[in-house]
Amino acid sequence: MTSEVIRRLEAPEHYHFGASVRPILLPKYDPGGRLDGDTFWHAARTPDGPATLRLVRDAGGLTATAWGAGRDWLVEHADAIAGLRDDLDGFAELAAAHPLVARLARTFQGVRLPATHRLFPRLLRAILEQKVTGKEAHRAYRMIGRKFGEPAPGPADGLMLPPDPAAIAATPYWVFHPFGVEQRRTQALLRVALIADRLEQCADAEEATRRMVAVPGIGPWTAAEVVRVAFGDPDAVSVGDLHIPNTVAWALAGEARGTDERMLELLEPFRGHRGRVCDLLAAGGLGAPRFGPRMPIRSFARF
């Protein structure tokens, strides 16, 4: 077993550990991470090599321990991964513009936005989530993780490193068909895998967004889904989402249906934290009335 590196982190008052790190994980089961009570595991391909991070919450704060070639890098970024670099300055004043947002901000004041500072794993997931149900996308992500992942360093049994972009880029598109991923999404995935090294060098969410949307098959929705987790961007709004415009319109204006334009209009008073407001509405269980059938679950592998 490789040697470990340990770092002690202080947590702010009311900090909610589980709710802060959970956005990093795929729902139900993630081959590259897990949350077991007050212990969070996270495998990553860092600029210095593969590594595994363990975060343990206790009464005094957090203990970060990392293994693998990239352990120093991962421990250095442990506070960002835990959401402890999330800046809430000025948000309470913005939240006061709407009584519901103000209430949700108080209720979920301990939830912080994590920042992994690794784009490709989240970009892989976001591409798979384009125009399909979450169940379909998450099943494909797990299958791709099993196909292209490798055992993560450290003591966590069964933990897998995220797929290597170079391995993805070298794979013919038809290999992804049995995973339920059609040619359109596969081609977008192969394109970003080819430039993954350059994307990982982006300094901030703005640069990353600009580079991602320049790639065919990557739009504002995908970019926002990525930078909200990779950089902890509190202003990233998933324009083009099927449900979020309706949720925002219903929660903030009592309108059962909303467009992207209306959503952005209603979120404008919260600029700088518009994505955070959307997250708060989701955390509060807010949702517009549903009309019509749900999106069906399909299997491209059987087409």
Each residue's pLDDT tens digit, 115-150: 999 999 999 999 999 989 999 999 999 999 999 999
| DSSP structural state of residue 295 | P
Threshold 0.85, pTM exceeds: yes
Counting the structural domains of the chain, the total is: 3
Q: Report, as an integer, the average pLDDT of 178-199.
A: 97
The whole-chain average pLDDT of the chain stands at 94
Residue where one domain finishes, among candidates 85, 111, 129: 85
Amino acid residing at 293: P
Q: What is the CATH number of the domain that holds 184?
A: 1.10.340.30
**Partners of 35 in the β-ladder:** 40
Is residue 208 located within the same domain as residue 148?
A: yes
CA distances from 216 to 141, 212, 219 (A): 21, 9, 8
Q: What is the mean pLDDT of residues 164-188?
A: 96
**Residue 110 included in any domain:** no
Q: Show the domain range for 258.
A: 244-283
Same domain, 8 and 55: yes
65 with 143, same domain?
A: no
Q: Which pLDDT tens digit goes with each residue over 191-237? A: 999 999 999 999 999 999 999 999 999 999 999 999 999 999 999 99
**Amino acid type, 20:** S
Residues 174 and 257 placed together within one structural domain of the fold: no
Domain contains 109: no
Any idea what DSSP says for residue 109?
T
pLDDT digits (tens, 9 = 90+) for 256-265: 999 999 999 9
Q: How far apart are CA 195 and CA 185, in angstroms?
A: 16
Q: Looking at the structure, do residues 250 and 205 belong to the same domain, yes or no? A: no
Residue 300 belongs to a domain: no
Same-domain status, 204 and 145: yes
Tens-digit pLDDT profile for residues 35-73: 999 999 999 999 999 999 999 999 889 999 999 999 999
Task: Indicate the pLDDT class of residue 99, thresholds 50, 70 and 90.
Answer: very high
Task: Please indicate, yes or no, whether residues 45 and 8 belong to a single structural domain of this protein.
Answer: yes
Calculate the alpha carbon distances from 4 to 45, 75, 154, 222 in Å: 16, 10, 8, 35
Question: Looking at the domain assignment, is residue 59 inside a domain?
Answer: yes
Residues 260, 178 within the same domain? no
Q: Are residues 77 and 21 in the same domain?
A: yes
**Residue 141 located in a structural domain:** yes
pLDDT score, position 27: 92
Q: How confident is the model at residue 297 (pLDDT cuts 50, 70, 90)?
A: very low
The residue from 36, 61, 85 where one domain ends is 85
Inside any domain, residue 99: no
Residues 64-97 have pLDDT tens digits of 999 999 999 999 999 999 999 999 999 999 999 9
250 within some domain: yes
Same domain, 69 and 126: no
Q: Is residue 223 part of a domain?
A: no
